[in-house]
Structure 1
Amino acid sequence: MAQIDAERIEEDLARGLRPAYLVHGDEPLGRLEAADAVRRAARAAGCEGREVIEADGAFDGAALAEAAASPGLFAARRLVELRLAAATLKAGARRVLEGWLAAPPPDAVLLVQAERLERRELGQAWVAAMARVGAVVQARTPARRELPGWVAARLRARGVEADAEAAARLAERVEGNLLAAAQEIERLALLHAGGRLGVEAVEGSVADSARFDVFALGEAVLAGDPARALRVLRRLREEGSEPTLVLWALAREVRLAAAIAYDVESGAAPAEALRRHGVWRSRERLVAGAARRRPAAWWRARLRECAEADRVIKGFAAGRPWQVLEAVAARAAGAALPG
């Protein structure tokens, strides 16, 4: 059974090309690089042809079945890419995939790409067959505490040794945006090839790639991270963001957490409550964690504070808008503040 982390796909490919790969996960950079690695290995192994099948929610497997039955016209071997847009597949598509994996066409390598598949889909027979016949490759977003190590390892692979402080500072500057981090690392590797990278070099040459939009503030609040919430808020102020827009994004997340917490306290299953309020799958863990961490009454109190901040921003109450926003955001993220 081949279950491979996307960071280790190159090592696996060095041992030989498998008949099929599933590349999935919630990290776009990891998916992109893993799929590119499979393509390079396929070309090196003689796959001169390439077919791409875009599979939306209505995909029934017919196009894949046709590709399996139709050998390449001009190439001895080919790479067939199936790009899944949905988190689950129809029964017909699953059967076609199972059939392909039961008897892989000798002239083709299959590359299935998907974002984070639902747990129910990962338990399907076609995924088990993929792990048995080929490989299931997961692109995982590193936790924030893992980012400095990820940065240092990536720099080291490009011939640059980074101080611990430099790696931590770079990780902070890109704020978990791995695509931006990869670009900065490539640039720093060119500037400091074969040398050491200190924090001064990072400060002097790295553009601030962490785009602190208003939604990042809400995410920090839901994650219960007051330090990050304040850092995002201060950057938004520096960038000239409108307080009204910032408060809207903050209140939106507080209102959502209050609603989910209330539904769960009223007897709804967390998954049902998340579906009822249209929470995207990629945000389910974040929102559910916030609702579980505090009761609905606590979140409603934070919502009342948002209403008071709105009065200050509009000039109906005394106070400085950004100072009030800082207090509201910090408290909503879990900081213990007076008042």
Structure 2
Amino acid sequence: METGCSRCNAGNDNNRTTTGPPRVSLRRTRARRTDSLVNTDNQHCPEQMELLHPVYLIAGDDPLLVQEAADAIRQRAAGAIRKTFFATDDFDWQELAASGDNMSLFGDRQLIEMHIPGGKPGATGSRVLREIAANPPEHDILLVIASAAQYYELKKAAWAKALTAAGQRIDAWTPKPEMMQQWVRDRMQQAGLQPDNAAVRLLADRVEGNLVAASQEIQKLLLLRGPGPVDERAVSEAVTDSARFDIYQLTAAALSGKADRALRVLYGLKEEHLAPQIVCWALARDLIDLCRISGAPPGSRPAMAPFRLRQLQAGARRIGVDQCRQLLMATTRADAMSKGQLPGDVWAQFAAIVSTMAGKQLGNAA
């Protein structure tokens, strides 16, 4: 695909096949000193990014935090030519390795984005990323986005450690349940609202960890009431949990193998103009857990609520690990469609994904 630059080839079906290790260039220079670079294992706020580093790694499972961190970097790199790649199954990593050779006529800086759905680049991708990190670009910026990555797996990955050492890692993980109220309070205050404890508690309960929905509800409150104090009654009147309820009906029906029911819910959400990002969040959340269940050793029991475990186990009987990862990648592409980064009908993509989850093939969700 092309994003921001006519020369961008982002992992389409025409990627050429190479033999031997990819040649890594990205217009490399000698390894930079990293003592002035910020490496962090904590949540990192976009407004704290005062320096512009040669390499960034955004790692996390929350679509809103991933998007905001990426947008902050893009804003700081304003004016750079943007190239975007997606690590699909048939992606040729030589495209990334050689991307720095394709300089613009005027030598403009490039922002090279590498999206890795699921956070697993594979052996070849891992090697290419480590080699780039060893000699980071002198003029360009490499932004690696490992969305839906698993925290502990990424912490141990050699390629992630190398990118972190070469520049900056920005974590974008959904806050733990005990931290959700504080996140909601901070967001409301940043928007100019002054919530009391009951208002914060109610909003946090309504969105149940969905930061996209939380952000939308906060904006709705701001539009309806304007800046200033907010109490529980104001939140109750302005915020609805119907969308959250329906989105969970969608994934529950898909995991239970009820394809027709799942599609009815999906098209109902479309008619209600639910933001596609919320559908992406719900599907990605369940597919990540489904991959974990499908790949778990026999007899193991992941730590989660019994009803949730039963739902996922029902889905795992139909969907293996490989198909689950393909569906997760399809969800990432749907997210890109919703933002205009890829062509296509995002709701048709959702329909293919939920149908496949339910065991009914409807188009191509891979």
The TM-score normalised by the length of structure 2 is: 0.56
Task: Give the 3-state SS of the residue equivalent to 1:196 in structure 2.
Answer: strand
Structure 2 residue 240 is matched with structure 1 residue 207: yes
AA of the residue aligned to 1:24: A
Amino acid across the alignment from 1:29: L
Match of 2:60 in 1: 25
Task: Judge conservation of contact 1:62–1:93 (CA < 8 Å) in 2.
Answer: no
> Structure 1 residues 205 and 68, CA, compared in 2 at 3 Å: closer, same or farther?
same
Percent identity at matched positions? Answer: 33
Residue 50 of structure 1: how far off its partner (Å)? 0.4
**Which residue of the other structure, out of 171, 178, 186, is the alignment partner of 2:211?**
178
Say whether the 8 Å CA contact 1:7–1:30 is kept in structure 2: no
Q: Is the 8 A contact 1:6 1:31 kept in 2?
A: no
Per-residue deviation at 1:61? 1.8
Which one of the candidate residues 40, 56, 59 is aligned to 1:3? Answer: 40
1:103 aligns with 2:150: no
Give how far 1:39 is off. Answer: 0.8
Alpha-carbon RMSD: 3.3
CA distance in 2, matches of 1:41, 1:157: 21
1:64 alignment counterpart: 96
Does the Cα contact within 8 Å between 1:71 and 1:107 map onto a contact in 2?
no
Residue deviations 1:49-84 (CA, integer Å, cap 9, x gap): 100011113435211111133323455211100011
Aligned equivalents of 1:103 and 1:136: distance in 2? 17
Quick one: distance in 2 between partners of 1:188 and 1:289? 35
Query: Does 2:71 match 1:36?
Result: yes
Contact 1:61–1:97 (Cα < 8 Å) also in 2: no
The structure whose Rg is larger is 1
Whole-Å separation in 1 of the counterparts to 2:52 and 2:180: 30
3-state SS of 1:114 partner: strand
Q: Which has the higher helix share?
A: 1
Determine the structure 2 residue equivalent to 1:271.
Answer: 296
Q: Which residue identity does 2:296 align to in structure 1?
A: A
Aligned partners of 1:89 and 1:60: how far apart in 2? 11
2: CA distance, partners of 1:48 / 1:216: 39
The 1-side partners of 2:142 and 2:234 are apart by 43
Q: How far 1:142 moved relative to its partner?
A: 1.6
Does 2:85 align with 1:85? no
**Where does structure 1 lack aligned partners over 5 or more consecutive residues?**
219-259, 261-269, 275-283, 297-339
Q: Cα offset for 1:34?
A: 1.0
> Which ranges in structure 2 are unaligned for 5 or more consecutive residues?
1-37, 254-292, 311-366
1:318-337 correspondence runs (5 A): none
Which residue is 2:266 aligned to?
none
Residues 49, 75 of structure 1: 8 Å contact kept: no
After TM superposition, give the deviation of residue 106 of structure 1 in Å.
1.9
1:22 deviates by 1.0
Paired residue for 1:194? Answer: 227
Tell me the CA shift for residue 94 of structure 1.
1.7
Give me the TM-score of the superposition, normalised by structure 1. 0.60
User: Which residue in 2 is equivalent to 1:289?
Assistant: 303
Quote the offset at 1:120 in angstroms: 4.3
- In structure 2, the residue matched to 1:164 is 197
Could you give the per-residue CA deviations for residues 20-39 of structure 1, whole angstroms, max 9, x where no partner exists?
Answer: 11112111111111111111
Deviations 1:237-293 (A, max 9, x none): xxxxxxxxxxxxxxxxxxxxxxx8xxxxxxxxx93228xxxxxxxxx9xx611599x
